[in-house]
Amino acid sequence: LAALLGPAGHIDAFDIRASALRELQIRAQRARLTNIAILPAAPTAQYDGVLVDAPCSGTGTWRRAPHLKWTTTPAQVTAAAEQQLALLTQYAAFVRPGGQLIYATCSLSRFENENVITDFLAANPAFKPEPPTPARAFGFTPDTATGGLTILPAKHNTDGFFVATLRRA
């Protein structure tokens, strides 16, 4: 993302996991990216774009970690969906009018993806789904109801992912 934005763009990164921020710092230095600032605490400003890379059940990683198929429980999926909706709602406050809220998981569960987006949109009428425009160029077909795009392991030869783009009015 930082490389795509280039030197004119700026990223403030925050994660509740300190280890994830340390890893980001290492990767940014290795890639010589200077447009990333790691925040020591949750942001207070509003942004043109906010990415919520939500913790999830990881069902999209089952191809490379098949043991998880036997250890992931419905209760874990339900708990993840509740946490995801809470995070999406919390970080929506940091999207300025006209800005984008991008939601991503490595889950293939509708409970964690489309249902979270549907519940969020019902409670936050200032946001509207906006299917990712470059998706069609790569052969992906976004869901117009949620703005969501599901990347399937068998079809795309990668882990499974879901991403939704929402625009604040």
CATH of domain 46-168: 3.40.50.150
Write down the pTM of the prediction.
Answer: 0.90
Q: In the chain, how long is the greatest CA-to-CA distance?
A: 46
Domain ranges of the chain: 1-44, 46-168
Per DSSP, helices labelled H in the chain are 2-5, 18-30, 68-71, 74-92, 114-123, 134-137, 153-156
Q: What residues contact 32, with CB distance under 8 A and at least 6 apart?
A: none
pLDDT, residue 156, reads 85
Q: Is the pLDDT of residue 88 over 80?
A: yes
Q: Catalytic: which of 106, 108, 116, 151?
A: 106
pLDDT, residue 35, reads 92
Average pLDDT over residues 128-153: 77
Report the range of poorest mean pLDDT among 8-17, 48-57, 130-139. Answer: 130-139
Which residue is associated with the tokens 């890379």? Answer: 53
Tallying the residues shown for the chain, one arrives at 169
**Which residues sit opposite 61 in a β-bridge?**
none
Query: 106 catalytic, yes or no?
Result: yes
